[in-house]
Amino acid sequence: MKKIPPEAFDVYFSLGPGRSYQAVAERYGVTKRAVTNLAKREDWQRRLVEIEAKAREEADRKSAQTLKAVQERQLQSLRLVQRRAIERLRETPIETAAEAARALAQAIRQENVILGEPGDRTAVSVEETIRREYERWMVVEKGGADPARDPDADDVEADDVGRPRVPRYNLGNSKPTPSAT
């Protein structure tokens, strides 16, 4: 009877995601049952979970360090641009300082984004989100049917030009708004 060597777990681990006790058994010329019994005795599954968790933690730590290093380099570069732009602004007459001012403004915007402050796109995004939420929570008042929200409303009045009248909306307990004509 062949004996399974102590490095069998290492072989099992090195097989990667497609690992199996059968593959280890074939490698050492033993039965799958013998490998299974050894794996239970040595708690291979727990060891595997621990190794994978440590590997994920290490990868996350390295990713965070890399991201921090990239952000630091970017901030150093942006601060250099800011210093040069300020120097140029000091040396240049007001009429020709526009390029330096633009460079300074751009560097400050990028620095703010790197530091987690909202940028131009974020501000627009917040405005759009507020608008969507406002429209979502609007309630049609009685007497003002909205065909987009009420499929049963088939007779919406039209104004003089033939456009459907805009229904009156109300946000919860606020006072009713006058209907548009």
pLDDT tens, 149-170? 555 544 445 555 555 555 555 5
Indicate if 131 and 173 belong to the same structural domain: no
Both 70 and 128 in one domain: the answer is yes
24 contacts 14 by C-beta, under 8 angstroms: no
Closest CA to 168 of 179, 157, 155: 179
The structural domain count of the chain equals 3
In tens, the pLDDT along 7-64 reads 999 999 999 989 999 999 999 999 999 999 999 999 999 999 999 999 999 999 999 9
91 and 117 belong to one structural domain? yes
Owning domain of residue 127: 60-137
Residue bearing tokens 């390295």 = 62
29 and 79 share a domain?
no
Q: Is the pTM of this model over 0.85?
A: no
Residues 176 and 129 reside in one and the same domain: no
Please check whether residues 16 and 37 belong to one and the same domain. Answer: yes
pLDDT at 59: 93
Q: Do 67 and 124 share a structural domain?
A: yes
Residue pair 12/30 in contact (Cβ under 8 Å)? The answer is no
Question: Are residues 31 and 95 part of one domain?
Answer: no
In this structure, the answer to whether residues 25 and 70 fall within a common structural domain is no
Helix (H, G, I), strand (E, B) or coil at 175: coil
H-assigned helices in 92-158: 98-114, 120-137
